[in-house]
Amino acid sequence: MSAAASTAPVLQVEALRAYYKISSFGLDREVRAVDDVTFHVNANEIYGLAGESSCGKTTLIRTIAAAIKPPLRVVGGSVVFNFAGRPVDMQKADDETVAAVRWKHLSYIMQGSMSVLNPVRRVERAFVDFAFRHIGKRKPEFLDIVRAHLQRLDLNPDILAAYPHQLSGGMRQRVAIALATVCRPEFIIADEPTTALDVIVQNSVLAMIRDVQKEIGSSLIFVTHDLAVHANLCHRLGIMYAGRLVEEGPTAEIFKAPKHPYTTHLVASLPRIGNTAPKKGLEGTPPSLAAPPPGCRFHPRCPLAMDICRTQNPPMVEVLPGRRVACFAVTPPGRAA
Amino acid sequence: MRGYGVYLLTRLGQFVLVVFIGINISFIVTHSTPIDPVEATIAASTMFGAVNPEAIAIMRQSLKELYGLEGGLFEQYLTFWRRVVVLDFGPSLSAFPAPVSALIARALPWTVGLLVVSTVLTWILGNLLGGLAGYYHQSRTLRFAGVVAMAFHPIPYYIVAFMLLIVFGYLWPILPISGGAQINLQRGFNLPFLSSLLIHSILPITSLVLVGLGGWFMGMRSLVSNVVTEDYVTYAELGGVDRRRILASYVMRNSLVPQVTGLAMSLGAIFNGAIITEQVFGYPGIGHLLIQAVHAGDYSLVLGITTISIIAVSAAVFLIDLLYPLLDPRVRVR
């Protein structure tokens, strides 16, 4: 591996736009779920994506994983992975290349992992279907590797003989994590893996993700609307609002000194020990992505909104090293240029 | 495995219960009809001239014995069950003295052969096409296949059957239009007989497949388009699992469970569905025999056919129930 490859980001997302294009009864509608998103993920890093429901988090990572189906379409931008110095452009690569990358280099822990296992087949079959072709060993040796992997994750290898409905929800989630990491991929996308679990199981699942990430040294995108989980797990954090990235930076700094007014409100909404003052909610609702407001998409709810916010979209500007914000209140328009 | 044993015993109990109730109903129905087969027979044989009353009394006695109508209702009921258990329904009236069981045994293989083949063929074709059409929903070829299958679906069966008869029997006469096989051939496993059997079955089977295909096709297509949005299918696609493997083991396998119930139902309905087919194509099966029996007022033959079909329908459902746990592990242990 060359020096350049090791320092280059594992994932580079450039000006990505992914819209849902719906056309029914002669009426065309466009839902701009991901609009002009740029960010990168470094090697051995956990990158958190936060934002409320329907802000485009899941669409963004679906697009990154090239798992898009009509009506979702990529309108512009690029997603380039760098697997051990070999760049893979997910939008341009042919089906075979993408299929070869899946699970070996890029795996996925899904939202609602409760039902990601085929209900009519044993757990063992899932490991065979997903990972067998990548490991390149004969069946018994392959199963030995799977058993050793399960044991390393404190799972009983006997679960291989079980059907998914015989396992509890937390157990299924852990099996899904084991399945996603058995090929030791460079990149893992985790889409709300802990959302359906109670906090105790959540804690052990998070510990498991952290341990396995540390062990195999992969990069991780972790998506959840739960800021407490982000604070606990992620190295860097990106905040999304209405299909756009509005702020990005190291997790601790964002929690300590949020810049964007939306982030400020998010962080202020977190409970703090000793603080008994009632929490104020943010006025209004997130905009419809089919008809987003002009200018900054946050301006109808923003306490700092200025005239320019209603007409122009604020660009992402690096305000401090590693710290980017898209807000005219933080970077006045004159300075941004 | 103990779970499966309990499951099997429960299902067997249900099977016996259903057969018992069904046969009781057929006893009640036949015994509450206003037609008295004994008197009907006597009336028929004494139509042409007077017969002395003593002879009539002897005739009545022996006919009652023959039909199991001696004594009170309870005695008749016991006699009836004794006959059902050994599957002996007495002699047929219209084909006297051939026993009913022999007539049924001669007709049954024709019906079962014809309908099992056509039902299973329809089921496999419909599910395969429907499954593919649901999974590859952009494919033009499969959409066209769907349109064809749906076009035949709402046409009444007898019209499709007659259309086939007209096209292949009259306009372009390449296929035989009536009978189960050429009659002058020796029955058994020899090539001329088997090929004649095959050629004679083409039209009836085609008619049944054409009409039945649309239902399975539509059902499977909508089941599949539901299953493809399930998380485990999306996940397998994200995992780069082979498309054919996803289609077979993930999509089809999960969609088939309700379709198997449907197969059981239609296998059970073989005895009703056969009547029009066999009538139109002159096929020598159970349906043909039943119509003949009804026209001739053949009391014991009708009862025999009814009883056999009750047992057959329940047995089909029972067998499918036994296969269920192999298909869906969630049914296996309660």
Label the pairing between strands A219-223 and A46-50.
parallel
| ipTM field | 0.80
Report pLDDT for B272: 59
If you measure CA to CA, which chain B residue comes closest to A176? B235
Query: Which candidate, B231, B251, B254, B229, places its Cα nearest to that of B242?
Result: B251
Q: What is the spatial distance between Cα B325 and Cα B149, in angstroms, rounded to a whole number?
A: 31
Please name which of B272, B263, B265 lies closest in space to residue B306, comparing C-alpha atoms. B272
Nearest to B299 by CA among B18, B21, B26: B26
Residue of B nearest to A185 (CA): B239
Identity at A86, one-letter amino acid code: R
Q: Distance (Å, rounded) from C-alpha A261 to C-alpha A253?
A: 15
Distances from the Cα of A132 to the Cα of A124, A160, B246, B265, B312, angstroms: 11, 14, 15, 40, 46
Which tokens go with B167?
């096209």
Burial class (CB in 10 A: 0-12, 13-18, 19+), A216: middle
Per-residue confidence (pLDDT) for residue A332, from 0 to 100: 79
Question: Cα distance from A305 to chain B (closest Cα, Å)?
Answer: 41
| CA atoms within 13 A of residue A297's CA, in its CB half-sphere | 23
| CB within 8 Å of A304: residues ≥ 6 apart | A261, A327, A329
Q: Note whether B239 contacts A98, CB cutoff 8 Å.
A: no
Q: Give the distance from CA B23 to its chain's centroid.
A: 17
Beta bridge pairs of residue B201: none
Closest CA to B204 of B151, B161, B150: B161
What is the per-residue pLDDT for A7?
A: 64
Cα angle A118-A120-A123, degrees, rounded to a multiple of 5? 60
Q: How many CA atoms does the CB half-sphere of B323 hold within 13 Å?
A: 14
- Using an 8 Å Cβ cutoff, are A175 and A117 in contact? yes
What distance in Å separates residue A109's CA from the closest CA in chain B?
Answer: 9
Helices (H), A65-198: 95-101, 123-135, 139-152, 169-181
Contact B238 A102 (CB under 8 A): yes
Strand A317-320 relative to strand A323-325: parallel, antiparallel, unpaired? antiparallel
Asked if the Cβ–Cβ distance from A130 to B239 is below 8 Å, we say: yes
Residue of chain A minimizing CA distance to B328: A120
Paired residues of A11 in beta bridges: A41, A81
Q: What is the pLDDT of residue A5?
A: 42
Cβ distance B231 to A129 less than 8 Å, yes or no, reads: no
Q: Residues 6 or more apart from B319 whose CB is under 8 A from it?
A: B264
Q: For B152-197, how does the pLDDT look when each residue is reduced to its tens digit (9 = 90+)? A: 888 888 899 899 999 998 898 888 878 777 777 777 778 888 888 8
- Chain A residues with CB under 8 Å of a chain B CB are 65, 67, 98-103, 107-108, 110, 112-121, 125, 129-130, 163, 165
Calculated CA dihedral for residues B270, B276, B280, B285, nearest 10 degrees: 40
**Are the beta carbons of B249 and A108 separated by less than 8 Å?**
no
DSSP bridge pairs for A323? A320
Quick one: closest CA in B to A180, which residue?
A: B239
Q: For chain A, list the domains and their CATH numbers.
A: 3-42+55-99+237-271+283-336 (3.40.50.300)
CA distance B212 to chain A (A): 28
Length of chain A, in residues: 337
Every domain of chain B and the residues it spans: 110-293
Contact A319, A247 (CB under 8 A): no
Measured in angstroms, the CA of A180 and the nearest CA of chain B are apart by 9
CA B286/CA B240 separation, integer angstroms: 52
How many whole angstroms separate alpha carbon A143 and alpha carbon A279? 52
Place of tokens 């905009």: A287
Q: Which of B231, B238, B245 sits opposite A115 (nearest CB)?
A: B231
Cβ pair A65:B238 closer than 8 A: yes
Q: Decide: helix, strand or coil at residue B276.
A: helix
Topology given in CATH for the domain delimited by B110-293: MetI-like fold (1.10.3720)
Residues of A in contact with B239 (CB under 8 A): 102-103, 107-108, 129-130
How far B251 CA sits from the closest chain A CA (Å)? 9
| Per-residue confidence in pLDDT tens, chain A, 337 aa | 333 444 678 888 888 888 888 877 777 888 888 888 899 898 889 999 988 878 888 888 888 888 887 788 888 888 888 887 788 888 888 888 888 888 888 888 887 666 888 888 888 988 898 888 888 888 888 899 899 889 888 888 898 988 888 888 888 888 888 888 888 888 999 888 887 778 888 888 888 888 888 888 889 999 988 888 888 889 999 999 888 899 999 999 999 888 898 898 888 888 878 877 777 777 778 888 888 888 888 888 888 888 888 888 888 888 888 889 998 888 877 654 4
Torsion, CA A214, CA A216, CA A217, CA A218, rounded to 10: -110
Task: Report phi then psi at A273, rounded to 5.
Answer: -65, 130
What are the chain B neighbours of A120 within 8 Å (beta carbons)?
A: 253-254, 257, 327-330
Tokens of B62: 């022996």
Q: Which two tokens stand for residue B1?
A: 């495995």
Judged by CB atoms closer than 8 Å, whether chains meet at A130 and B330 is answered as no
Give how far A278 is from chain B: nearest CA, Å. 39
Query: What per-residue confidence (pLDDT) applies to A335?
Result: 52
pLDDT of res. A334: 63
pLDDT at position B79 is 82
**Pairwise CA distance, residues B7 & B108, whole Å:** 31
Tell me the helices (H) and strands (E) count for chain B, helix number first: 14, 0
Residues of A in contact with B326 (CB under 8 A): none
Query: Chain B residues with CB inside 8 Å of A130's CB?
Result: 236, 239-241
Which residues of chain B fall short of a pLDDT of 50?
334
